[in-house]
A and B are shown apart, each in its own frame.
Chain A
Amino acid sequence: MTAASELVLDREVRDWVLIPLTACVMLMQLLRQYVTALMAGNKAPVDPSKGTSEVSQKMAVARSTLLRANGGFIPEPGFRQRKQYFAAKDTGVLNQKIEAKGMQEMMMTNPDFMQGMMKQQLGGLLPQLALGALVNFFFSGFILGRIPFALSPKFRIMLQRGIDLPSLDPSYFTSLSYYILLLFGLRGVLTLMFREKAINDAQQMMQMQQSMQMGPMGPMGFDAQKAFDAEQAALNLAEHKWRLEGSEARAVKVLRTQLGGK
């Protein structure tokens, strides 16, 4: 690298771009932190009756699975009684019709759900947009500094956002690139300053993507009807064979060897 290609940066750039930009991003992160905490704080409690029914449905499936797995250890009448309880023609627990709750209905019946989602998304998105616009307006087009090693021209897109100078050495970075770096790299710094968990943009984004892929129901949707049907079919096939059947004969053998051995 020749000396001629070195740029001299104005000191004003440091005072009026580098420091304010850093402060801006940091303060915005702080603000977001508190706003999310505030919003999470006054989240309304979930409707308990719905929670209970879902819990009991899940538990019923788990218990029926257990019955299939370990049913051999309990006497015949007990097994039959339980099987009846789960899989009887009309009254069995697993035979009950569960009104399917569509997404639409869930939103209608539980406005909290929608509100919560919107709050969350807005809380993440809005400040980001505002900050992006702000930075774009005030701080675009400055070269802030130079990284201390040479880079190939391919890095120009990454480091030199906002200015279009093909002749400039790619190791100079601009204010816009610096802003993006701060946006994603500040979390570690924030966790140092706070005992509580700082909000994690990358994690949030990942979650959002996952929930997109999983479909709108996501992991919270427990499809009771499907689980019940499968469990009932399996339970109907389960035969009871008491493992202790004929244990008298085996006990006699055990006792005989014990008495004979001594």
Chain B
Amino acid sequence: MEKGLDGSPLSLLLPRPLLVACPSRCVKVRALRVRETEGVVRYGAELLSRHARKVDADEMWEVHEQVAVAAMEAGCKQLALRLVQNVHKRFPEGARASRLTGMYFEMMGTPGEAEELYKKELEKDPANAIILKRMVGLRRGQGDLAGAAELLKQYLAVHTTDWVAWEEAADLYLHLQMYQQAAFCLEELLLHQPTDVGRHLLLADALYTMGGAHNWRAARTQYSGVIEMTKGQNLRALYGVCACAAQLSGVRRSERGGGADVEELPRLAAAALQQQYAVHCPDKLPLVRSMLKAQGLL
């Protein structure tokens, strides 16, 4: 009998209506692109092992792929192996199947075989997007961040509107401490999703880290924008404004930019920070106060 993640038979875990809802659930997860690993593994495995006949042929293999990827993510090696074998048996050729098989190799810690597989696939079609992306993932998994960034750059030269790839590139460059490039990628992300507060913060952080008066000024504006967007609830932005002010206090007044408002901003941010800490976490208030004192804002 098929066992669930925690070892108990799945049919006992699941009430009847849920079993019926399995296919539509998988479809929904796929359509919304949510990451719901555990649910997909649990319901998907059940669906494929027992109710496979209810799913039509085209859909079935998509569910296979989805569940296999989720299983790898969740570390269910047995399940993943079985599904990958199924897929491989049905589609011995083809990039998508190779990708899945390669991912299995990667999970099992034999990236060499995965790379061989991908290379073979790329020989057939050098512009295959999913395999190119997989190569980046492979390099990153091996710890070769610079190589991954290089491959991703080549990929992005063609597929310039793939924002997920830009996100990955930004992350890679941040890890590599190449802030100029990271800032570029983050700007590209902002073009796609202009109201994402997290991205604005990351860009501000990158600008701040790069240093120099004009970068600090830009970072300050960026942080202020986030304060404006979140109605002053975002602590990271408040911290950022304080830090920028501390850095800029060592710079000539003419380079600081802004008028009376700008002079007042860090003080207000510091007050808002203290207020937030006083409400939500009074224990740590002294730490914040000492930090602010060091920045000359108290």
Chain A residues with a Cβ under 8 A of chain B: 45, 48-49, 51-52, 55-56, 59-60, 62-63, 66-67, 70-75, 78, 81, 195, 242-245, 247-252, 254-256, 258-259, 262
A78 / chain B contacts, CB cutoff of 8 Å = 183-184, 187
**What are the nearest 10 A-B pairs in CB distance?**
A251-B224, A244-B225, A73-B194, A247-B224, A255-B268, A251-B227, A249-B261, A247-B225, A74-B187, A78-B187
- Is the CB–CB distance between B228 and A247 below 8 Å? yes
Partner of B191, one of A45, A66, A249, A254: A66
A250 with B159: CB separation less than 8 A: no
Chain B interface helix/strand/loop/mixed: helix
Given contacts A67-B191, A256-B268, contact A52 B225 (CB under 8 A): no
Q: Which residues of B166-220 are within 8 A (CB) of A?
A: 183-184, 187, 190-192, 194, 207, 218, 220
Alpha-carbon gap, A66 to B163, bound state (A): 12
Chain A residues with CB under 8 Å of B258's CB are 248
Say yes or no: A248-B191 contact (C-beta < 8 A), given A259-B272, A262-B275: no
Residues of B within 8 A of A51 (CB): 127
Count contacts between A and B, CB distance < 8 Å.
Answer: 107
Q: Could you list 30 A-B pairs, sorted by A, with CB under 8 Å? A: A55-B158, A55-B159, A56-B157, A56-B158, A59-B160, A59-B161, A70-B191, A70-B192, A75-B187, A75-B221, A78-B187, A243-B225, A247-B221, A247-B224, A248-B221, A248-B258, A248-B261, A248-B262, A250-B228, A251-B225, A251-B228, A251-B232, A252-B265, A254-B227, A254-B232, A255-B271, A255-B272, A258-B232, A259-B271, A262-B275
Residue of B nearest to A45 (CB): B125
A contacts with B: majority SS: helix
CB distance B158 to A59 under 8 Å? yes
**One of A48, A66, A70, A258 near B231 (C-beta < 8 A):** A258
Beyond the given pairs A56-B160, A244-B225, A247-B221, 4 more chain A to chain B contacts, judged by CB atoms under 8 angstroms and listed by A's residue number, are A66-B161, A67-B191, A249-B262, A256-B268
In the complex, are the beta carbons of B231 and A254 less than 8 A apart?
A: yes
Report whether A59 and B221 are in contact in the complex, using a CB–CB cutoff of 8 Å: no
Whether A63 contacts B161 by the Cβ 8 Å rule is yes
Residues in B with CB closer than 8 Å to A81 are: 184
Q: Mark B245-289, 1 if CB is under 8 A from A, else 0.
A: 000000000000010011011001101100100000000000000
Contacts of B57 in A (CB 8 A): 195
Assess A245 versus B221: contact at CB under 8 Å? Given A250-B228, A256-B268, A259-B275: yes
Query: Across the interface, which residues of A come within 8 angstroms of B261, CB to CB?
Result: 248-249, 252
Q: Which residues of A contact B221 (CB under 8 A)?
A: 75, 242, 244-245, 247-248
